[in-house]
C-alpha cells in the first residue's frame, strides 16, 4: 500500500497536470449530507470551516501521486472525480474522510513523488491512498525490564519505510531524538539514564501517518558496594554489623561456617534489620552459632541489586565462636568504714572485663571497670562510698560480647 500525507487545513479542486477537471459544489451550504456523517452544512458539520467551504469532510492530508492511463479517484458515493487519460499523470490529491480529490499541485510541494499509485500496481483500477500509520514493533527495550547497563539495545521494526524518533517522557522536555530515517527498522545500542526510563517512540511514514508507542524500563548500572563488616577478627557470639551503599538493594546474605560441621547461608532482612542514612545502609543481625561454639569460622557477605549485579566481601573473615556466657560463681563484698572490697569468682575462658554501676546518694549514675583480667578466676577491687544504701550491679563480659550480671546490696554508715 502506498504512503499517507501530512495534515492540512485547506481544500481546492483543479486539474492535475492539465488532463481533466471535475467541479465540486459548495457542500457546506447545499442542504445535503455529502460525507454521510448525519450532519449537514455549516456550522452543524464540523468538517465545514465556513458556509463557503467546498467540503463537509474533515481533511486528512495531501499525497503527491503518479497515475497511469485509466486510473481514477472516486468519492464516498462511488462517483469518479478524477481520471487519468494520458500515459502518465501527476496528481496532487486532497484526502478527506469522504473521499480523495485532486487539488493544486502547489499543495504537494516538498512531498515525495508518487506518494501513492493505483491499487493494482499502476495498471488500471481505482487508486488507493494509505491512511494508516506504520505498524511499529518494539522488540527491545522490554516493558518493565531492569537493565544493569546504561547502554540498551534498541530493536525496532516497522512495516513500511518511516522516520523513527523517541522522547523521554520524564526528563525529555518534549524534545525528540532521531533514531533513523527512511528505515524499516533499527537494531543498535543507545545510552539511557540511570533509574526509571519512560520513553515514547513515534514512527512517521513518508506521507506523515504517525504511530506512537510508550514503554518503561529501569536501569541500575551502579555496582553495589560493601563498605564495612564487623567483627573482622577475634571472637563472635553471633552478632554482626554490615554497612553498604546501593540505591536498589535486592538481597543481602552471609555465608558462614567451616569444613566441619559445614557452611550455611543467613539472609539479612534489609527492610527490618537495616537503616538507611545519607545513602548508606547500616545493618545489624544475629545468627545462631551454637553449633559452632568453640570453633573457628569463616564468613563473607554478598549483596545483590535489582538488576542482578552481585558484590562479595573483599576477603573472607576468620572468627572464633563463643556462644557461652560467663558464669559468676560467687560475688562478695567486705565493708571497712567507707571502703568496700568486691571479690567476683568467674568461670570464663575468653574473659574480657568486669564492670560495675550504681546510683550514688545524689541520684547520679556511677560506673567503671572492676578488672580486665582474672587471677586464678578471681576479679577483685576496692571502691569508696559515702554513707547510704547502695545496690551495685556487676557485669562480666567475654571477648565475644556474651555477658552475665548480678547485683550486690549493702549499707555504708
Return the percentage of the chain with pLDDT > 90, whole number.
64
**C-alpha atoms less than 13 angstroms from C-alpha of 165 in its C-beta half-sphere:** 16
What global pTM score does this model have? Answer: 0.60
Answer with the residue of higher pLDDT: 345 or 39. 345
Name 61's bridge partners: 95
CA angle 272, 273, 277 (to 5 degrees): 95
Give the neighbor-by-neighbor strand order of the sheet with 59-68: 59-68, 88-96, 100-103
pLDDT beyond 50 at 118: no
Burial of 38 (0-12, 13-18, 19+ CB in 10 A): exposed
Same-fold call for 136-219 versus 225-321: yes
pLDDT digits (tens, 9 = 90+) for 222-255: 999 999 999 999 999 999 999 999 999 999 999 9
Domain boundaries, the chain: 1-131, 136-219, 225-321, 327-412
Q: E strand or H helix at 328, and its extent?
A: strand 327-336
Please give the Cα distance from 320 to 298 (Å, whole number): 9
Report the CATH fold assignment for 327-412. Immunoglobulin-like (2.60.40)
CATH superfamily of 136-219: Immunoglobulins (2.60.40.10)
Nearest CA-CA partner of 66 in 137, 127, 19: 127
pLDDT beyond 80 at 106: no
pLDDT beyond 70 at 116: no
Residue 47 C-alpha cell reads as: 468538517
CATH C-level class of 225-321 = mainly beta
SS3 of 272, please?
helix
Contact 219, 195 (CB under 8 A): yes
State the Cα torsion 387-388-389-390 to the nearest 10°. -60
CA dist list (Å): 127 to 79, 160, 399: 13, 19, 93
Please give the Cα distance from 206 to 225 (Å, whole number): 50
Nearest CA-CA partner of 243 in 307, 311, 291: 311
CA angle 366, 368, 369 (to 5 degrees): 155
pLDDT digits (tens, 9 = 90+) for 365-406: 999 999 999 999 999 999 999 999 999 999 999 999 999 999
Amino acid at each position: 500500500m502506498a504512503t499517507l500525507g501530512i495534515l492540512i487545513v485547506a481544500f481546492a479542486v483543479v486539474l492535475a497536470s492539465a488532463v481533466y477537471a471535475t467541479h465540486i459544489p459548495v457542500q457546506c451550504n447545499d442542504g445535503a449530507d455529502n460525507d454521510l456523517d448525519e450532519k449537514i452544512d455549516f456550522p452543524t458539520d464540523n468538517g465545514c470551516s465556513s458556509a463557503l467551504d467546498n467540503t463537509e469532510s474533515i481533511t486528512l492530508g495531501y499525497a503527491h501521486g503518479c497515475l497511469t492511463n485509466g486510473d481514477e479517484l472516486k468519492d464516498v458515493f462511488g462517483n469518479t472525480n478524477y481520471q487519468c487519460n494520458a500515459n502518465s499523470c501527476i496528481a496532487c490529491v486532497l484526502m478527506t474522510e469522504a473521499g480523495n480529490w485532486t487539488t493544486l499541485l502547489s499543495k504537494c510541494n516538498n512531498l515525495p513523488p508518487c506518494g501513492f499509485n493505483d491499487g493494482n500496481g499502476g495498471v488500471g483500477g481505482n487508486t488507493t491512498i494509505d491512511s494508516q500509520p506504520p505498524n511499529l514493533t518494539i522488540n527491545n527495550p522490554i516493558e518493565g525490564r531492569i537493565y544493569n547497563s546504561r547502554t540498551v539495545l534498541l530493536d525496532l521494526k516497522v512495516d513500511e519505510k518511516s522516520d523513527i524518533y523517541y522522547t523521554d517522557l520524564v526528563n525529555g522536555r518534549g524534545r525528540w531524538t532521531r533514531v533513523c530515517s527512511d528505515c524499516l527498522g533499527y537494531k543498535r545500542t543507545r545510552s539511557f539514564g540511570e533509574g526509571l526510563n519512560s520513553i515514547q517512540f513515534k514512527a512517521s511514514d513518508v506521507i506523515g501517518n504517525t504511530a506512537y508507542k510508550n514503554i518503561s524500563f529501569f536501569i541500575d548500572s551502579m555496582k553495589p558496594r560493601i563498605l564495612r563488616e564487623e567483627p573482622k577478627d577475634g571472637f563472635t557470639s553471633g552478632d554482626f554489623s554490615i554497612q553498604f551503599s546501593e540505591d536498589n538493594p535486592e538481597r543481602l546474605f552471609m555465608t558462614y561456617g567451616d569444613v566441619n560441621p559445614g557452611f550455611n547461608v543467613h539472609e539479612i532482612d534489609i527492610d527490618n534489620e537495616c537503616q538507611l542514612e545519607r545513602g548508606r545502609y547500616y545493618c545489624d543481625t544475629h545468627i545462631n552459632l551454637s553449633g559452632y561454639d568453640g570453633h573457628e569460622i569463616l564468613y563473607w557477605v554478598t549483596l545483590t541489586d535489582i538488576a542482578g549485579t552481585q558484590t562479595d566481601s573483599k576477603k573472607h573473615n576468620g572468627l572464633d565462636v563463643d556462644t557461652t556466657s560467663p558464669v559468676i560463681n560467687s560475688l562478695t563484698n567486705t565493708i571497712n568504714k567507707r571502703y568496700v572490697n568486691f571479690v567476683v569468682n568467674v568461670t570464663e575462658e575468653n574473659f574480657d572485663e568486669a564492670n560495675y554501676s550504681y546510683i550514688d546518694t545524689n541520684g547520679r549514675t556511677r560506673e567503671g571497670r572492676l578488672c580486665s583480667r582474672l587471677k586464678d578466676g578471681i576479679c577483685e577491687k576496692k571502691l569508696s562510698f559515702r554513707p547510704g544504701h547502695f545496690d551495685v550491679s556487676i557485669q562480666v563480659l567475654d571477648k565475644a560480647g556474651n555477658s552475665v550480671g548480678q547485683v550486690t546490696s549493702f549499707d555504708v554508715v
